[in-house]
Amino acid sequence: MKLNRVRRRRRDLQKAAGDEDRISNLPNDVLLNILERLDTLDAIRTCILSKRMQNLLAMLSQIVILLSPRDLFRMNGVVADVTNKMLRTRSPHITIFKLKVRFILRLDDCLSIGKSVALAMATQKLDAAEFEISNQRWYCTKSDLRYFARQFNNFVGHCPDAFAGLTRLHLQKMSFREPDMANILSTCKRLESLCLFRCDAGTHSVLRVEHAALVELDISFGGFTTVELNFVPKLQVLSYDTWTCEDNPLVLGFVPRLSKLSLTKASTSDRILVLSELLAGAPSPDNNFTGYVRRIMKAAVNIKEVSLHDWKVCEMCSNRKVHPTNFRLSIYPRTSEEKDLVRKKVSEGLRMASPAAIHFRPSCYVPFRIDE
């Protein structure tokens, strides 16, 4: 009996070794494709037994470390160590297309991750970087939320270069001061996606958003009385899930590309959300772009053809940094659907042979100077 067990064990080991040999003999590009489909920690475990496959770890174009919340409590330090090693031992000539790390807000671990990522951003090619940051407690008091917000601010203060290159940021359970959010947004210059879960900026706080690159804003169980989108020219997706205030949750400023809006209230209420009030601050092509063109065409009744151009920029303004409060991006129609809609609105009720007589020209640069 014992001899049979030994033989079976030997056959199993030989079969496993044969399987390993078949996998390790695959071409590098195939192996890399397989490894990049795994979480990075799983990829490391897979490569432990093969020296050749260990060398492939330095060639991965995606580094994704996403442990479950339960595992993070035990292995947050491991996440920091692995992130540091993966970024420091790889070839600087291989682009990292995606770096995504989930970790708990423990300052020593955070600083290790932040400094490693900042160094990688400075010395390597890193297309997209994402942090998912939570805290150590399932249930948090107000004092806890404020403490974790201070910890996060310290993290940002110690690693500004890492946050300057982030493209996605997910924060959980933090209570900031109102100026903190503006500082975070100004530091994260490349940020395209911001997700806030159970975050606020104090009692009856207002979240004011001004960011040139932000494409997606997702707020869940937020404690903000109002979210003011003052200047977010690239914002396309906005979700505010479970807001608790009685007033309108949003003030829309300059958000010309906003195409998807999702609002969910925390509880039932007799108050009706009036869309005209919600959209009161949103830009209106009728009142600006098309309205101006229509007034000119009404005055100049003999016009046969209209050419509409995008912004013309002079030499004096082209390189000047203009503050968002003094400058609004063009709402010039880009897609064929937008252009057809403008043609219809401009020509409706006017004496023109056809809406086709309205042409849209590509953006142009017209140099000129002003002599005093």
What pLDDT shows up at residue 372? Answer: 35
Domain end, chosen from 243, 259, 278, is at 278
Q: Is 368 part of any domain?
A: no
Whether residue 143 contacts residue 119, with contact meaning beta carbons closer than 8 Å, is answered with no
Are 274 and 293 contained in the same domain? no
Are 155 and 233 contained in the same domain? yes
Are 61 and 139 contained in the same domain? yes
Q: Is 366 part of any domain?
A: no
Give CA–CA dist 260/283, Å, rounded: 16
Whether residue 243 contacts residue 221, with contact meaning beta carbons closer than 8 Å, is answered with no
- Supply 137's token pair: 């407690």
Are 273 and 296 contained in the same domain? no
Total count of domains within the chain: 2
Are 87 and 54 contained in the same domain? yes
Are 274 and 339 contained in the same domain? no
- Mapped onto helix, strand or coil, the DSSP state of residue 306 is strand
Are 19 and 89 contained in the same domain? yes
Q: Is 28 part of any domain?
A: yes
Whether residue 109 contacts residue 133, with contact meaning beta carbons closer than 8 Å, is answered with no
Q: Is 212 part of any domain?
A: yes
Q: Is 134 part of any domain?
A: yes
What letter does residue 126 receive in the DSSP assignment?
B
Are 32 and 165 contained in the same domain? yes
Q: Is 367 part of any domain?
A: no
pTM exceeds 0.85: no
In angstroms, the Cα distances linking 311 to 12, 274, 305, 319, 343 are 72, 34, 19, 15, 18
Q: Is 365 part of any domain?
A: no
Q: What is the pLDDT along the chain (372 residues), one digit of tens a residue?
A: 545 555 565 555 445 444 555 666 776 677 777 777 777 788 878 777 677 777 777 778 889 999 988 888 899 999 999 999 989 888 788 899 999 999 999 999 999 999 999 999 999 899 999 999 998 788 888 999 999 999 999 999 999 999 999 999 999 999 999 899 999 999 999 999 999 999 998 877 889 999 999 999 999 988 888 899 999 999 999 998 877 666 677 888 888 888 888 887 655 555 555 565 566 555 554 555 677 677 777 766 677 777 777 655 554 554 444 444 444 445 667 777 778 877 877 777 776 655 557 877 765 444 333 333
Helix axes 336-347, 289-299, angle to 10 degrees: 40
Q: Is 195 part of any domain?
A: yes
* Of residues 48, 46, 55, 104, the one with CA closest to residue 80: 104
Are 251 and 342 contained in the same domain? no
Give CA–CA dist 129/33, Å, rounded: 20
Domain that holds residue 222: 2-278
Are 347 and 200 contained in the same domain? no
**Scanning the structure block, which residue is given the tokens 């695959």?**
26
Amino acid identity of residue 283, one-letter, is: P
Are 297 and 349 contained in the same domain? yes
Are 122 and 164 contained in the same domain? yes
